[in-house]
Amino acid sequence: MKEQLEREEKNKYSIIIPTYNERLNIALVIYLVFKHLRDVDFEVIVVDDGSPDGTQDIVRQLQHVYGEDHILLRARPKKLGTAYYHGLKHASGNFVIIMDADLSHHPKYIPSFIRKQLETGASIVTGTRYVSGGGVHGWNLMRKLTSRGANVLAHTLLWPGVSDLTGSFRLYRKSVLEDVITSCVSKGYVFQMEMIVRASRKGYHIEEVPISFVDRVYGSSKLGGSEIMEYLKGLIYLLFTT
């Protein structure tokens, strides 16, 4: 037990949050992160893609409140590669947590990620919405159907070993993330799929934690035919190259 406490004290968690036009949400997310991670050594890295709505100003105000060594703002003028790769260069922790800024990922699950990693010594802990204990809110029947169909198809083709392939609420050991991210070439949610499938192929220890996913923005973006095509192309690509 004392050993586990010492191990906990030596771990530092870098939380990378990519943002684009998340002026209000980023403030709420950071408040909740600080509320739920009181006894943990961590830093938040906000990677902003030049949001026109003033997200970076809000982050600077938050830096005054919480301290500049706990919140890092890294603006990206051009979209080269993924925001995670950019944030990773500035991460000083030995574990990296990635999450979304739109409050679909609630920071209250971060302690359960950390606990699961300490219990099992896993290299990757991924949040899954499809296991009991977790769940989704704000999806209509059509959305659930496409999600479930996509999941079954991906499981039949890829045998990934995790139940939620496109989820982006994950904890990685930093060295593992560095290793996997260099071999990934996709963008968006296909990138998340590629990361977890490649990590699974390389034999890393992956654990899962149920999370709840409250989708407040779904109503504004429809799941169109082009998204489905992109998903299928991503699946075929992963089938042949991993």
Partner 1 sequence: MIIIEPGSHLRAREASLFERSESPKETKQGNIPKIQGSQAPHLSSPHPPLRSLRRSRYTSRNNQHIQMKHILKIMALVVAISAIWISLLETSVIPRSYTWLLPVYLIMSLGCYGLLMVGVGLMLFPTCPQEAVLLQKDIGEAKEFLKGKGVDVGSD
Q: Is 203 in the site for partner 1 (CB under 8 A)?
A: yes
Q: Which is nearer to partner 1, 18 or 109 (CB)?
A: 109
Site residues (CB under 8 A) for partner 1, limited to 213-242? 213-214, 239-242
What's the Cα-to-Cα distance from 140 to each of 104, 136, 137, 206, 218, rounded to whole Å?
16, 10, 9, 30, 9
Give the contact letters, 138-157, x = binds to partner 1 (CB under 8 A), - = no: x--x--xx--xx-xxx--x-
Determine the Cα–Cα distance for residues 93 and 49; give it in Å rounded to an integer.
23
Site residues (CB under 8 A) for partner 1, limited to 166-195? 173-176, 178-179, 182
By rule CB under 8 A, what count of residues binds partner 1? Answer: 70
- Which residues sit opposite 43 in a β-bridge? 14
Site residues (CB under 8 A) for partner 1, limited to 10-39? 10, 12, 21, 23-24, 27-28, 31-32
Give the contact letters, 47-86, x = binds to partner 1 (CB under 8 A), - = no: ------x---xx--xx-xx--xx-----------x-----
Q: Is 40 in the site for partner 1 (CB under 8 A)?
A: no
Q: State the DSSP string of 11-76.
A: -EEEEEEEESS-HHHHHHHHHHHHHH-TTSEEEEEEEE---TT-HHHHHHHHHHHH-TTTEEEEE-
